Structure 1
Amino acid sequence: MRRRTGQKIGGRREFVVINESHFRHKRKYGRGRMAGGWKRKKWVFGMLGVRYHQQKKSRKPILRLLEKRSRNHLVPLIAHHVRPGSSLISDEWRAYHILPVLGYNHHTVNHSKWYVDPHTSAHTQHIERAWRSYKEQIWRLRGNRTESLLSDHLAVIEWNEWLAKKHYYGAFGRLIHDISRMYK
């Protein structure tokens, strides 16, 4: 279940790392049958708000399933979910070149030369590590066999990071809380 109040990340004390990734079902060692895959390629666009607060790191992901990773698809999502004036870190994908014009402090990393920019120390390792973790979670849940199932998995990941980890009684306590509010 997605948050109703709107997910906003970024600001003075939080930077946002953006990237896109494929979440396709893979066969182990190239054997076995392919799951009912998708006819067209699908991308997952991720925005990860990273905040360091008193030796504690918090990460808030926003994950959206997209058909294309063009400027027309990515920039409206960024404008909707990232606060103006925020610091954004990304690779040098050309769709992101308009971000400084929109009022964002945009840092890029040229992955063909280095993984950490030597001038700004910007890197995308936060979201690259998050992709790995999210893909492992989805794989453990038996993969992304359909588009709607992948969308549900992404919503569960968001719910866990935004709400469940912050609850006093953990994820199970948050689940009971959300169920009791939904079915009064």
Structure 2
Amino acid sequence: MTLSRKLVDILRKSKKKIIHWMQKKKLLSRKKRCGLCGRQMKLKRSSCTKDGYRWVCRRHRRFISKSVRDKSIFSRSHMKLSAWLTFMLRFSQGLRLRQIDLIHENVALSSRTLTRMSAKLKSVCTSSVKRLERRTGRRIGGQNSFIVIDESKFCHKRKYGRGRFGESWRRRGWVFGLLEVKGQRRRPVLKFVKQRTRNRLMPIIQRYVRPASTILSDSWPAYRRLQQEGFIHYQVNHRRFFVHPRTGAHTQHLERAWRTFKSDVYHYRANVTVKKLKECLTFIEWHYWLAKKHKDGALGQLMEDIRCKYRV
């Protein structure tokens, strides 16, 4: 039985079984010590909390209690634990989430609450990508693979060329993408840059691409010295053809990926500010680098990242 199926079954059970399952997955703490006497606290039923249970110590004149969510990602949240688990399941099922559908499922009562829950989970994914980069460097390229590089403009989308111009139209910046293609695997590196000059793009390529890797690009002048920098470089001039007739080089892998990436950014309304755009780009990287290769899928990777960031 998959992790998603187990979670669906648990959501039908009582509050106590949901808490025990979350303790087993290390999303909630299994033990708590009293801050006064240092002894183990007991999990007791409580009618003054939505969770139905609290950690209690009765060895003092003053009643000592703690929430079952103490030091977890769910602390300081008024949403039920079952609602949080449902949202995590929907969050992990894909990059697309319709808030109106989640409201109809009684996950939350307002879009503001859903936005805050989504931002909290995205921050977990962002921290996971940063840990991966510190640990491995997130280098791409090497044998049996090639890298497609390109830059794209992320700005406000007008329908049928009508409507107001958004703030992103005046934004001076590009998204520089490096896409590793190895068999059926795709691993992107997405960086927001204010200029697409050689001095700005070359350090990013040298930082993330292994030496002697094969790179495919268009004929943008900033890429002309890639061969002198130690890379195997193939170019295609899009003014003449999309696929080079002699080498077969093309950038369609990344051109197709831009459509998916932009669709995700527009769906999350992450193109309002540069900060939100960068967060969404990192979240897309998390999906391709970590979530897709986890044995339990995106949900398993999300729970693992929560355990790493919130040690209960």
Query: Which TM bucket (shorter chain)?
Result: over 0.9
- Larger strand proportion, structure 1 or 2? 1
Deviation of 1:36 after TM superposition, in Å, equals: 4.0
Deviations 1:74-126 (A, max 9, x none): 00000000000000000011110110001100000011111110111111000
Q: Is 1:106 aligned to 2:233, yes or no?
A: yes
Matched, 1:37 2:176: no
Give the letter aligned to residue 104 of structure 1. Answer: F
Structure-2 residue corresponding to 1:58? 185
Residue 34 of structure 1, CA deviation = 4.0
In structure 2, the partner of 1:164 is 291
| 1:11 equivalent in structure 2 | 142
Q: Which amino acid aligns with 1:167?
A: H
2:153 pairs with one of 10, 16, 22: 22
Give the Cα–Cα distance (whole angstroms) in 2 for the partners of residues 124 and 158 of structure 1: 19
One-letter amino acid matched to 1:88: I
1:137 aligns with 2:264: yes
Residue identity opposite 1:85 in structure 2: A
**Structure in which a larger fraction of residues adopt helix:** 2
Q: Which residue matches 1:128?
A: 255
Q: Distance in 1 between matches of 2:168 and 2:238?
A: 30
Unaligned regions of 5+ residues in structure 1, if any? none
Identity across aligned pairs (percent)?
A: 48
Is residue 154 of structure 1 aligned with residue 281 of structure 2? yes
> Post-superposition shift, 1:14?
1.1
Residue 86 of structure 1 corresponds to which residue in structure 2? 213
| Unmatched 5+ stretches in structure 2 | 1-125
From the CA coordinates, give the structure whose radius of gyration is larger: 2
Stretch moving more, 139-148 or 124-133: 139-148
Matched residue SS, 2:275:
helix
**Alpha-carbon deviations, 1:31-86, whole Å to 9, x = none?**
4444443643210000000001xxxx101000000000000000000000000000
- Please name the residue that 2:17 is paired with: none
Letter in 1 for 2:237: N
User: Pairwise CA RMSD of aligned residues?
Assistant: 1.3
CA distance in structure 2 between the partners assigned to 1:39 and 1:139 by the alignment:
17
In structure 1, the residue matched to 2:224 is 97
Shift in CA distance, 40/142, structure 1 to aligned 2, threshold 3 Å = closer
Q: Is the 8 A contact 2:156 2:169 kept in 1?
A: no
Q: Aligned letter for 1:68?
A: Q
The amino acid that maps onto 2:148 is V
Q: How many residues align?
A: 180
Question: Does 1 or 2 have the higher relative contact order (CA < 8 Å, sep 6+)?
Answer: 1
For 1:30 and 1:112, the matched residues in 2 are separated by 25
For the 8 Å contact 1:16–1:87, the answer to whether it is kept is yes
TM-score when normalising by structure 2: 0.56
Instruction: Specify the code of the residue in structure 2 equivalent to 1:64.
Output: K
3-state SS, counterpart of residue 25 of structure 1: coil
Secondary structure of 2:168's counterpart equals coil
TM-superposed CA distance for 1:13, in Å, is: 1.3
Paired residue for 1:47, among 152, 157, 178? 178
Instruction: Give the letter aligned to residue 23 of structure 1.
Output: F
